[in-house]
Amino acid sequence: MIDTHCHLYFDAYDADRDAMLERARSAGVRGFVCVGIDPRSNGQALTLAQAHPDMIATAGLHPHSAHEATEELVGEVEAQIASGHYRAVGEIGLDYYKSQAGPEAQRPLFERLIAGAAARGLPVIVHSREALEDTRGCLTTAGNGRVRGVMHCYSYDVRAMRAFLDLGMHISFACNTTYPKAVHLSEAVAYVPEDRFVIETDSPYLPPRSLRGQRNEPAHLTELVAFIASRRGQSEQEVAEASERNARRLFAWERSK
């Protein structure tokens, strides 16, 4: 398995980060995508990735920070992306549910970062919450047919997923897919093509159903894989191997860091 979205630099792991990584490896996690959300965390993600051969880093600017995105701040993120050390642009996107920034601040930033990723041939990691049409529109317009990437912690239904697949995006399922009320995600898991899905924990957030209320960590992917296997009528090994293949292809994993 590969955890395609985790924030392992968070202070929630300061007391046991090495032990947490070993638990994940023992559980069968063979890779970690450590995702940045601003200049500071982008640097932290890279530092961790450089210390662990089975980890890669990404650089982004979360939509929750869009109202604070000065030209200097965005330029700093773009310089990090241009350094060649990062394997994707993200976490970026639109959040009309929780962000302090309005759509008028979020959309131009999202489009700018999409265009930069497309120009450099890097995938995007997209956060989208209650912003379906604008997310699709930005990916279509700013990506100009060249963007590829992943819909992180997918939150929409099957109909919306078809449109993202048509845009060349992968669909990432997090551990909230296991929640009883997440019927739309359960349906999406059953529908998504085998070569277009990946898995994630979004650690330290969104633990699986059996561990709700606790800190999440990459080792908990096992519960998500078991759930996906049950919905797809496949073995857990088949689900784990397919998601790993897709992640390695998406992030050009075999290329030297």
Quick one: tokens of 203?
A: 């650690």
Quick one: tokens of 174?
A: 């997090």
3-state secondary structure of 96: coil
Q: Count Cβ atoms below 10 Å from residue 132 Cβ, excluding itself.
A: 18
Strand partners, 198: 172
pLDDT in tens, 185-196: 999 999 999 999
Average pLDDT, the chain: 96
Residue-level pLDDT at 100 = 87
pLDDT in tens, 144-174: 888 999 999 999 999 999 999 999 999 999 9
pLDDT in tens, 11-41: 999 999 999 999 999 999 999 999 999 999 9
Strand partners, 3: 32
Identify which of 67, 59, 129 has the alpha carbon closest to the alpha carbon of residue 95: 129
Residue-level pLDDT at 234 = 98
Helices and strands (H, E) in the chain, number of each type? 9, 8
Output the CATH code of domain 2-250.
3.20.20.140
Domain boundaries of the chain, sorted by first residue: 2-250
Identify which of 192, 194, 177 has the alpha carbon closest to the alpha carbon of residue 235: 194
What average pLDDT does the segment 73-84 reach?
98
Residue-level pLDDT at 144 = 85
